[in-house]
Structure 1
């Protein structure tokens, strides 16, 4: 069976949390063996921690996402630092910078003020870090250059930046993770960008419950529909789940002109490497994988 690693998802999201056991089971049956589950605010870090305790396949990650910085408490950073120190198996994330329309009204200087210490903390604790970046790649690169390099790895999640910036990010220790967000991108541009990424820096993810793949070969997507808390007449929301990473794999492989099995092997190996930091719960799996 093809082995895959969902390098970035949100199984703690309230829209799918009650279905998480079923979603994990479905994904494991299809060869998705690990899930990097990213917290986004102080309110959900403990939920991610509990999921990690319950499921050996879940790699926890704690961070303050730029969309939620307005809700932070005065002790957010000390709480985050304590969480990470108490959980050596946890990565940092999701953190980031966003100048896109979904972040309109969120002061960018405030985003930087929250982002920079989290990035520094990841470096200091020698943990990989998952970074959200929308329309702010120049600023991100400048900040990373001032703090980096990052030997433990920076995961540029759902990367849709330019091909030209790939070498500079890679030089600092970045991995480039691809999801369904890639599919609306103009195909020629997407192909150029993908081919600029070194093979040992490619990751795959779902970003579920968001980024549902829209791909010509995905005839039977594994859908989750939000059915609770709907008012009369309100349409159901079609959501993503980790099993859909097989469609991300198919699409990225088609653009790279690679066999799916080869890309699956490369992306799984890369994910196992970046998430096998000291204290990680998948270190034993990596050691076992390398001895066979």
Structure 2
């Protein structure tokens, strides 16, 4: 059984020094691909390095996350483009919209998000999207700029079942992490069952989104660190939970989600 962690942050300073061991132990558990998402100009070089060091297991992704929009340099877009020019295998991410924190001008977030979406379309790269309390805005923007033939994933998706068809029609995939376990089970089941089976992805968002569920398998620890930090091998817990809600064998969900991720990231 092979799994693809469709969204994580192994360059995060909380776990970067442990990343080689985390990747090795996750691979031993069957997790053979990791989409590692940059969030700011400062960590794009680290993500690039990880993609080179752990090829072909790590898919590097470069993007300016909404939390870091206010800190961007005047040359951020040029630097981003250069990162893609030097890394043909890279995807765009993590980018998006967030109304969940006090982060200044939302219009500025929208402007930066649109610039990155347009770059993704120009370069024909898939996109990994963060969205918190802004799904209406997101859908409007995606409709105005879409469709997206190379695809985009809505990471740690917790949106409504009603929005699923509209995003899917634009090229959307739906990626599920341990955060799904925070949603009311009946609502999560309804939303999951609205997602086309060829658009379901699994992720850990490591080192965040530690799974917590009675359905879970024993968690993999991040040795010697805060017990709340997530390990890519814990995608198995997400798999078990998603399969239980869909009432499908976990092997079937694993196979579908792996092939869906391979298709999105163009392997």
* Residue in 1 that maps onto 2:151: 153
Matches within 5 A, 1:114-263: 114-218=112-216, 220-224=218-222, 227=225, 236-263=226-253
Secondary structure in 1 matching 2:139: helix
Matches within 5 A, 1:61-76: 61-76=61-76
Distance 1:251 1:106 in 2: 36
In structure 1, the gaps of 5 or more residues are: 228-235, 277-282, 284-292
Distance 2:62 2:97 in 1: 16
Distance 2:243 2:71 in 1: 40
Distance 2:88 2:245 in 1: 37
* Residue in 2 that maps onto 1:41: 40
Distance 2:9 2:224 in 1: 15
**1:220 offset after TM fit, Å?**
2.1
Matches within 5 A, 1:20-39: 20-39=19-38
Number of residues paired by the alignment?
266
Cα distance change on mapping 1:96 and 1:127 into 2, 3 Å? same
* Residue in 2 that maps onto 1:50: 49
**Of 258, 261, 266, which aligns to 1:271?**
261
On the 8 A contact 1:226/1:239 being kept in 2, the answer is: no
| TM-score, normalising length: structure 1 | 0.89
Distance 1:9 1:182 in 2: 15
| TM-score, normalising length: structure 2 | 0.97
On the 8 A contact 1:225/1:238 being kept in 2, the answer is: no
CA RMSD of aligned residues (A): 1.0
